[in-house]
Amino acid sequence: MLETDVATITEALKSFALGFGLDILGAIILLIAGWWVAGRAAALVRHSLKNAKFVDSTLKPLAASIARYTVLIFVLIAVLSNFGVQTASIIAVLGAAGLAIGLALQGTLSNIAAGVMILVLRPLKVDEFVEAGSVSGTVVEITLFTTLLKTPDGVFISAPNSQIWNSAIKNYSRNPTRRLDIKVGIAYDDDVDAALEFLKKLVASDPRVLKDPEPMSFVATLGESSVDLTARGWVATADFWPTFFDLTRKSKTELEAAGFSIPFPQRDLHIKETAETASVAKATAKPAAKPAAAKAPAKKPATRSRASTAKTATKSAAKPASKAPASKTDTSKS
In this predicted model, what pLDDT tens digit does every residue of 136-153 receive, in sequence order?
999 998 887 889 999 999
Q: In 3-state terms, what secondary structure has residue 86?
A: coil
Strand 146-150 relative to strand 135-142: parallel, antiparallel, unpaired? antiparallel
* The dihedral sign for the CA sequence 6, 9, 14, 17: negative
72-75 own/partner pairs: CB under 8 Å, 24+ apart? 72/34, 72/35, 72/38, 74/34, 75/30, 75/31, 75/33, 75/34, 75/35, 75/37, 75/38
In eight-state DSSP terms, residue 224 is S
**8 Å CB contact between 207 and 163:** no
- Kindly report the number of other CB atoms within 10 A of residue 139's CB atom: 22
Q: Give the global pTM.
A: 0.56
Q: How far is CA 59 from the centre of its chain?
A: 31
Q: Which residues contact 273 (CB under 8 A, 6 or more apart)?
A: 281
Confidence at residue 309, expressed as pLDDT on a 0 to 100 scale: 45
Assess contact for 210 and 235: CB atoms under 8 A.
Answer: yes
pLDDT of residue 331: 39
Q: What is the pLDDT of residue 304?
A: 47
Check residue 305 and give its pLDDT. 45
CB-neighbour burial class of residue 199 (10 A; exposed 0-12, middle 13-18, buried 19+): buried
- Among 207, 193, 214, residue whose Cα is nearest residue 247: 207
For residue 140, what pLDDT is reported?
A: 92
**Taking Cα atoms as reference points, which of 22, 33, 39 lies closest to residue 78?**
33
Which among 69, 87, 68 has a CA at the least distance from the CA of 77?
A: 87
Positions in the chain whose pLDDT score sits under 70:
1-23, 52-59, 82-91, 101-106, 266, 278, 280-281, 285-334
Query: Sheet of 227-236: strands edge to edge?
Result: 177-186, 227-236, 216-222
